[in-house]
Amino acid sequence: MPIHLYNSLTRNVEPLTPRTEGVIQMFVCGPTVFDFIHVGNARTFTIFDVVAKWLRYRGYEVTYLQNITDIDDKIIRRAGEQGRDPLEYAREYEQYYRDDMQALGNTAVTQYPRATDHIEQVKAQVKTLIAKGNAYLIEGDGWYYDLTTFPDYGKLSGRTGLQADDAVSRIDDAEKKRNTGDFALWKLSKPGEPTWDDAELGAGRPGWHIEDTAITQHYFGPQYDLHGGAMDLKFPHHEAEIAQQEAASGLVPFVRHWMHAGFLQIDQKRMGKSMGNMLGLREALKRWSPETLRFFLLSGHYRAPLDFSEASLDAAQAAVQRITELLTKVHALPPSQKDDSALMHIITETRRAVEDAMDNDFNTAAAFGAVFALISAANKAFTENRVGTEASAALKAFFEFLSEQFGIVPAGGAPLSADIQSLVDERQLAREQKDFATADQLRDELAKLGYTVDDTAYGPLVKEKIKS
């Protein structure tokens, strides 16, 4: 069965049909490098990291581009406040971004093209739009896209007006625009701003939306396979991309499959700079391992909102702890021949279940559910001394696969010593048998030894108490 995915453009789950068989050209809107990113941004980038890795696992040759917006009003403002050169400032924050992606395990991007390295392509596309009658000049301000020349505007989002959750910080609000929604393609230079000369356009810099299509046209051509981004970019940013590229080339559709990632929320509110509720990715990486953060970020369906809370991060931490515990048992197992065919069967079935879940619109939540059913079965088999060399090797291979595809398997060994672990296992067994008196007794015993136990959706989370 081919991979199926939800297409925001048609609002249907459809089979993946790249333009060239076996090859996928994929573009995801990258960061505007004016500050560190927050965990909400990290969710989007982690989702598309896993999408690209999964497509490669399924045999596609994927070119994954993510643009770096390194010239923009916000960058100019921030750099100005610190008395710094905007381009140099942007270069510094680009490096922070790349370091943070590496630290989080987002490694699938093929290339990060910068806006300022593609100014010639931007100018060429603006000139094409002028020649085709889609753009007009506001003297002393810039070249604007005239939305009345593109009747298809709004076909992705189903609307032409702004709503509360749109990324709007860069809406162009020139008074002399022909239509409210018209947006800048080329902004004429203002004193003190980075600027690029052009005899026809006038000295200036790119508008917000044009770099994406100038870059994709350069690397992919006027049409390509897959475009991803956060939900708040659908309107107006992605509508603007469609208007630019489809008008410039006359070819429809510009992008075959559009994917949009849901918001990360805190108390039902979207995490965002403007919401004042954000947690920086760097701060988060100080508190939780990359595996725990990735497990959390991938624990819900990518299109649905995901709630950030201490409890959900505890659950993710417990989940990763259970993976490590099982792997510790696997690695400690002496070679032996046992009838472990029942467990072998479960491992094979689980791999198939993970593949089915991922092939069906990248359902990481369902994939993780299957993994945890396997972990329970494997733990039971260990308790009953039914794991031999064959099943142990199969478990190792399975977790290597999980590590490569999702990045949720820590490299290190057991987080707990063997005797603490056996108390935790005993307590868990007592709980499963509804022997809560014994479970409580074991919790007290663990507390005396300096460990706390919290029960989460993915099993017990054990932490060493902080000594004061």
- Site residues (CB under 5 A) for Zn ion? 29, 212
Residue 7: strand, helix, or coil: strand
Report which residue type is found at 21: E
Taking the complex as a whole, how short is the minimal distance between the CB of residue 416 and Zn ion, in angstroms? Answer: 45
Taking the complex as a whole, how short is the minimal distance between the CB of residue 183 and Zn ion, in angstroms? Answer: 13
Q: Give dist(CA 114, CA 104) in Å, integer.
A: 21
Longest CA–CA separation in the chain, Å: 83
Taking the complex as a whole, how short is the minimal distance between the CB of residue 113 and Zn ion, in angstroms? Answer: 12
DSSP string across 88-106:
HHHHHHHHHHHHHHHHHT-
- How would you classify residue 450: left for phi > 0, otherwise alpha for psi between -120 and 50, otherwise beta? left
Q: Which residue's CB is nearer to Zn ion, number 146 or number 211?
A: 211
Taking the complex as a whole, how short is the minimal distance between the CB of residue 261 and Zn ion, in angstroms? Answer: 13
Q: Which residue's CB is nearer to Zn ion, number 212 or number 361?
A: 212
Q: Which residue's CB is nearer to Zn ion, number 245 or number 363?
A: 245
Q: What angle do CA 248, 201, 68 make, to 5 degrees?
A: 65
Which distant-in-sequence residues (6+ apart) come within 8 Å of 460 by Cβ?
Answer: 318, 424, 427, 428, 453, 454
Taking the complex as a whole, how short is the minimal distance between the CB of residue 323 and Zn ion, in angstroms? Answer: 35
Residue 226: strand, helix, or coil: strand
- How would you classify residue 157: left for phi > 0, otherwise alpha for psi between -120 and 50, otherwise beta? alpha
Report which residue type is found at 348: T
Taking the complex as a whole, how short is the minimal distance between the CB of residue 237 and Zn ion, in angstroms? Answer: 6
Q: Give dist(CA 79, CA 100) in Å, integer.
A: 21
Question: Which is nearest to 358 in space by CA: 50, 136, 90, 39?
Answer: 50
Q: Which residue's CB is nearer to Zn ion, number 136 or number 220?
A: 220
Residue with tokens 């010239």: 71
Q: Which residue's CB is nearer to Zn ion, number 29 or number 75?
A: 29
Which distant-in-sequence residues (6+ apart) come within 8 Å of 173 by Cβ?
Answer: none
In the bound state, the residue with its beta carbon closest to Zn ion is 29
Taking the complex as a whole, how short is the minimal distance between the CB of residue 29 and Zn ion, in angstroms? Answer: 3
Q: What angle do CA 109, 114, 116 make, to 5 degrees?
A: 175
Taking the complex as a whole, how short is the minimal distance between the CB of residue 433 and Zn ion, in angstroms? Answer: 54
Q: Which residue's CB is nearer to Zn ion, number 29 or number 231?
A: 29
Q: Which residue's CB is nearer to Zn ion, number 167 or number 357?
A: 167
Q: Give dist(CA 396, CA 393) in Å, integer.
A: 5
Q: What angle do CA 111, 116, 120 make, to 5 degrees?
A: 100
Q: Which residue's CB is nearer to Zn ion, number 234 or number 431?
A: 234
Taking the complex as a whole, how short is the minimal distance between the CB of residue 135 and Zn ion, in angstroms? Answer: 19
8 A C-beta contact, residue 291 and residue 109 = no
Q: Which residue's CB is nearer to Zn ion, number 114 or number 351?
A: 114
